[in-house]
């Protein structure tokens, strides 16, 4: 399968930590793409002021330009690309997305913790922002029983999240839907 490289794909290494400072070699290593290919996208992102660069010795260090109002959109699209790439690798994650899709208009879902990092395990941590009604609880319970994976649901609103919890989410997460909401929250 040929990977389609886009400017949003090049931002994927930042999804581990929006405040990262990266060298060209970091992008090459994490994306497994030659630096010649990545360079043109980094130049475009820098010209559009999505990324900013700082020279250190002979190397350019790239970081996200949070002053650019389009950064929310760029990161949201990158988060969606990440989610769809991971669903291609994990039928379990894809099935979770399919089952929860009927709740997308009322709730936002984010998988976090070890499952988000490894795509395997006996348990799955699930942040739910919005309605957490009986039908959703039944869907979670049915999924858990069918696939033999314990789901730890954390229903809340964004105002109730502690800084420590936000830090945990930022490191290991998969935004199932409504990436705009989560990106906006994680940037702030």
DSSP state of 14: G
Are residue 19 and residue 56 in the same domain, yes or no? yes
Are residue 138 and residue 47 in the same domain, yes or no? no
The pLDDT value given to residue 3 = 54
Are residue 53 and residue 138 in the same domain, yes or no? no
Looking at the domain assignment, is residue 99 inside a domain? yes
Looking at the domain assignment, is residue 69 inside a domain? no
Are residue 50 and residue 98 in the same domain, yes or no? no
Domain count of the fold of the chain: 2
Are residue 46 and residue 109 in the same domain, yes or no? no
Tens of pLDDT along the chain (188 residues) come to 345 678 899 999 999 899 999 999 999 999 999 999 999 999 999 999 999 999 988 899 999 999 999 999 999 999 999 999 999 999 999 999 999 999 999 999 999 999 999 999 899 999 999 999 999 999 999 999 999 999 999 999 988 988 889 888 998 999 999 999 999 989 98
Which residue range is the domain that position 17 belongs to?
7-64
C-alpha 65/C-alpha 63 separation (Å) is 6
């Amino acid at each position: 399968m040929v990977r389609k490289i886009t400017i949003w794909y090049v931002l994927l290494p930042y999804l581990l930590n929006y405040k990262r400072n990266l060298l060209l070699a970091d992008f090459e290593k994490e994306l497994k793409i030659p630096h010649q290919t990545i360079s043109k996208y980094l130049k475009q992102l820098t010209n559009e002021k999505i990324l900013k660069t700082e020279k250190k010795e002979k190397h350019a260090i790239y970081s996200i330009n949070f002053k650019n109002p389009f950064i929310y959109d760029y990161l949201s699209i990158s988060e969606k690309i990440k989610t769809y790439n991971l669903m291609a690798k994990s039928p379990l994650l894809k099935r979770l997305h399919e089952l929860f899709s009927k709740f997308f208009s009322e709730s936002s879902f984010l998988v976090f913790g070890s499952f988000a990092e490894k795509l395997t395990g006996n348990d799955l941590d699930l942040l739910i922002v919005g309605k957490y009604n009986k039908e959703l609880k039944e869907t979670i319970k049915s999924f858990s029983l069918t696939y033999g994976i314990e789901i730890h649901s954390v229903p809340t609103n964004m105002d109730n999240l502690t800084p420590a919890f936000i830090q945990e989410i930022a490191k290991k997460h998969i935004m199932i839907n409504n990436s705009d909401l989560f990106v906006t929250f994680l940037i702030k």
